[in-house]
Structure 1
Amino acid sequence: MAQTMMKKVVASSACVVIGITRRTSARSLAVAGKNLSTNTKDRVLPAEGEITKSVFMSQSTDIFTNLALEDWMYRNMDFSKHHVMMVWRNDPCVVIGRHQNPWLEANVPLLVEKDIALARRNSGGGTVYHDRGNLNITFFTPRERYDRNYNLELIKRALFRGFGIQSIINERQDLLVRNKNKISGTASRLSRLTGYHHCTLLVNANKSNLKSALAKREHGIQTNATASTPSPVANLVEVNNRVTVDSLQTAVGYEYLRTPALHLEDGGQNMISKQRGFQFVNPTEDWFPGLTQLKSELQGWDWCFGRTPDFSVSRTFPVPSELLAPSKVYAATQELAINMTVVKGLIDDVTLNIPPGLVESGFHGEASVITHLKGKRFTSEALTALQEAMLTRHLPSDRKLDEKEQFVAKCFDQVVNTV
């Protein structure tokens, strides 16, 4: 992709091409950012004519690396005189908002099975699916000049200028085509000095994987976490089959460079020639000191799952008749009930309500397993603890769960894996 893009950029004599090739480039930007006043009242931002722009193109397709790069730039760079649009793409992954519940938003067992990464970003908003068929865009500015509408209108212009695609911005600041199909969601992060707005554009993403990765299932979760709003989606290639991720990257990049920094006006080739142009960015520790630590934090379990807002789960499961005492007749359906609270991704409290029919048929040990589950991750780790707890009631020569215990374990598995 990088070689293809470079050929396209170099082919235009009107575009200035600057590649960041020395690690001092990133370090000097970091120093500039750290020397900024922490009081926005003390700084005077430059006039529009003094602001230059760059399009940074990440050479990584790893979600954790790209999120770390985004965070590094947000923390360290000075955008007062230099606005940046970063374009990036990822291998298949699901990205949840900062305040969301991954077990509620994503099909976690499927992601594990298909080796699809799950990442929690630092911005708010809803859950999205990424693959190489998405173009992700991040707009960096000083906080005072953060403007979502400017950014979205710029993308609208690029779609129409480059491909004749008409789109609209709805009340949620999503981009829609055909007046109903979502092609882009939006989210942001703001500090006292800096702000960024990012979005993802569906070009030719695998919609089957998208649907299955974000499928809603029976989960019994109650939470105050931010919930995603389902919307019908479309790929841009469904509207115009000439659109590719590379061509869209070029179209949006040039639209960004030809537009003045603070208002929507077509500055044409004259404006493009004044900008810093397209720059390939290699998100490594050599270029961006401290990036490795940021990436490590972003891909850790404590961030991806442990930062989930507290939630509770309640599920009931009918007990198969063959597991009940055959000599008994019960007035109501016999159900196993599992209730638990989860704090920071760890089981804080749990109860197993065993129906009389299961106890009368010989099941035992329900009370003894509870203490073994507290503090366990809300994953198969808890299931393993449950199985081990039930096995402690067995003789050393009988290390196998009986059919009633297997039923309880299967129900618990459906809770912690939310399937």
Structure 2
Amino acid sequence: MFSYKLLGFTNKYYNLVLSRKCSVALNIRKTVFISSSKDIFTNLALEDWLYKNYDFKSHHVLLMWQSDPCVVIGRHQNPFIEANIAELKNITKDGVSLARRDSGGGTVFHDNGNLNLSFLSTHECYNRKHNLEIISRAILKECGLNIEINKREDLVLDGCKVSGTASKLGRPNAYHHCTLLINANKDDLSRSLEKLDLNIETNATQSVRSKIMNLSEKNPQISIANLIKTIGIEYMRTPAFQGKNKAVYPNIPQGFKYINPSEGEFPGLNKIKEHFSSWKWIYGKTPKFVVKHDVPLPNLDTSGEKCVAILTVENGLICKIEFVLPKLLDGLDIDENVDSQLKNSVFDLDTFIVLQKIFDEALNNKVSFVV
């Protein structure tokens, strides 16, 4: 059933893992799931399915997967200030997807040089540092690199971030997931996370930018496949941890299992995937924000006064529009056209184009303003 042989294990090697037992009775099973999908929405759905449906009381899971190029924002973030929305489709041959995960924290970039890990357990057995120490030990064994855990519980190497971390705590289940930069395309990462200057005011969680490093920069011979094996073995051989009373539970390693995420194996997965890939989740879930946009008036001498459109956006829709107009434009009747074309519409980068056209048409119809 389990595919540890596909990863290059021999029975003798695997039995070595099983033989590392604690002196007390084993009572927590541990399995490493490896997703065959590289679609971010499928893997987010798989993680969510396990979180909602799996019984982790006596069986913990480490889920690992890789992604095709994508930007993944946190549950409480604003994509317009976290990602280069205008250019994502042009950064790689097939573009860079935008996704929102169901955990907090900041924005991360995934591609095939990035490994994603999700530690799933009960809430009581959740412990970030315990999980990060597993990864750190595995990297030292496989690559000879000394990884540190900083105060923010990120993994760092020579002062550079190699992993970001986030979590979702529920009842009875929880998960801690993190990225691991192994050989990611840093140029694509930089372009994808380039911030747009949209003058947005918001209480949304904002990412803390950090200097990053690929593990391959320190060890060019690093192999993602081997690292998956080493992390998986270290996970299974490490006793499970309960955060509240700091007790450790011995465990029974269950091996590696390849997962082909499908509706047949995980009933309801398609519906969860549809949710994660929907506009309503990716953009509509954005916390309320206000955009202050300077409307260009190139043919008018406004004596330095600006024409400012103030848009309030809630659930991804423009719910309120206000203007600060130069004295020269006092009496300009644009409210009705703006409301009819923009109010309750989706906010996106085309909103500014529509706004400009409305102003241009209004000015053309008011010859007295154009002097």
In the superposition, the TM-score normalised over structure 1's length comes to: 0.76
| Deviation (angstroms), 1:341 | 0.6
1:300 aligned residue: 278
What are the equivalent positions in structure 2 for 1:2-401 lying under 5 Å apart?
6-11=5-10, 13-15=12-14, 49-114=26-91, 115-178=95-158, 180-262=159-241, 274-316=252-294, 319-320=297-298, 323-324=299-300, 332-356=303-327, 359=329, 366-372=334-340, 373-380=342-349, 382-383=351-352, 386=355
| Deviation (angstroms), 1:317 | 5.2
Alignment check: 8 A CA contact 1:354 1:366 kept: no
Task: Give the aligned residue type for 2:14.
Answer: C
Q: Structure 1 stretches of 5 or more lacking a match? A: 17-46, 264-270, 395-400, 405-419
Q: How many residues align?
A: 345
Alignment check: 8 A CA contact 1:139 1:198 kept: yes
Alignment check: 8 A CA contact 1:64 1:295 kept: yes
Task: Give the aligned residue type for 2:7.
Answer: K
| Deviation (angstroms), 1:64 | 0.3
**% identical equivalent positions:** 42
1:176 aligned counterpart, secondary structure:
strand
Task: Give the aligned residue type for 1:80.
Answer: K
Q: Which whole-Å deviations, capped at 9, do the CAs of 1:10-37 have from their partners, x for residues lacking one?
A: 4453327xxxxxxxxxxxxxxxxxxxxx
Q: Which whole-Å deviations, capped at 9, do the CAs of 1:171-228 have from their partners, x for residues lacking one?
A: 10000001x1000011011111111100000001011111111112322111111111
Q: In structure 2, how many angstroms separate the alpha carbons of the residues matched to 1:103 and 1:227?
A: 11
| Deviation (angstroms), 1:66 | 0.1
Q: After TM superposition, which residue ranges in structure 1, 4 or more long, deviate above 6 angstroms?
A: 390-394
Q: Which whole-Å deviations, capped at 9, do the CAs of 1:247-267 have from their partners, x for residues lacking one?
A: 22112111112222239xxxx
In structure 2, relative to structure 1, the CA distance for the partners of 1:370 and 1:312 (3 Å cut) is same
| Deviation (angstroms), 1:111 | 1.5
Q: In structure 1, how many angstroms separate the alpha carbons of the residues matched to 2:200 and 2:177?
A: 29
Greater per-residue strand proportion: 2
Q: Which whole-Å deviations, capped at 9, do the CAs of 1:20-71 have from their partners, x for residues lacking one?
A: xxxxxxxxxxxxxxxxxxxxxxxxxxx8721111110001000000000000
In structure 2, relative to structure 1, the CA distance for the partners of 1:108 and 1:222 (3 Å cut) is same
In structure 2, relative to structure 1, the CA distance for the partners of 1:189 and 1:48 (3 Å cut) is farther
| Deviation (angstroms), 1:386 | 4.2
In the superposition, the TM-score normalised over structure 2's length comes to: 0.85
1:13 aligned counterpart, secondary structure:
helix
Task: Give the aligned residue type for 2:254.
Answer: R
Q: In structure 1, how many angstroms separate the alpha carbons of the residues matched to 2:7 and 2:313?
A: 51
- What RMSD in Å do the two structures reach over aligned CA positions? 2.7
Q: In structure 2, how many angstroms separate the alpha carbons of the residues matched to 1:143 and 1:135?
A: 24
Greater per-residue helix proportion: 1
Q: Which whole-Å deviations, capped at 9, do the CAs of 1:101-128 have from their partners, x for residues lacking one?
A: 1111111111144431111111111000
Alignment check: 8 A CA contact 2:183 2:216 kept: yes
Q: In structure 1, how many angstroms separate the alpha carbons of the residues matched to 2:11 and 2:346?
A: 54
Q: Which whole-Å deviations, capped at 9, do the CAs of 1:266-313 have from their partners, x for residues lacking one?
A: xxxxx99x5210100010101100000000011100100101110111
Q: In structure 1, how many angstroms separate the alpha carbons of the residues matched to 2:25 and 2:236?
A: 13
Q: Which whole-Å deviations, capped at 9, do the CAs of 1:337-359 have from their partners, x for residues lacking one?
A: 121110111001112434355x5
Task: Give the aligned residue type for 2:348.
Answer: T
Of structures 1 and 2, the larger Rg is shown by 1
Alignment check: 8 A CA contact 2:71 2:108 kept: yes
| Deviation (angstroms), 1:229 | 0.7
Higher alpha-carbon deviation: 140-149 or 213-222: 213-222
Q: Structure 2 stretches of 5 or more lacking a match? A: 16-23, 243-249
Alignment check: 8 A CA contact 2:334 2:362 kept: no
Task: Give the aligned residue type for 1:156.
Answer: S
| Deviation (angstroms), 1:370 | 2.1
Task: Give the aligned residue type for 2:39.
Answer: D
Q: In structure 1, how many angstroms separate the alpha carbons of the residues matched to 2:232 and 2:176?
A: 16
1:139 aligned counterpart, secondary structure:
strand
Higher alpha-carbon deviation: 136-145 or 383-392: 383-392
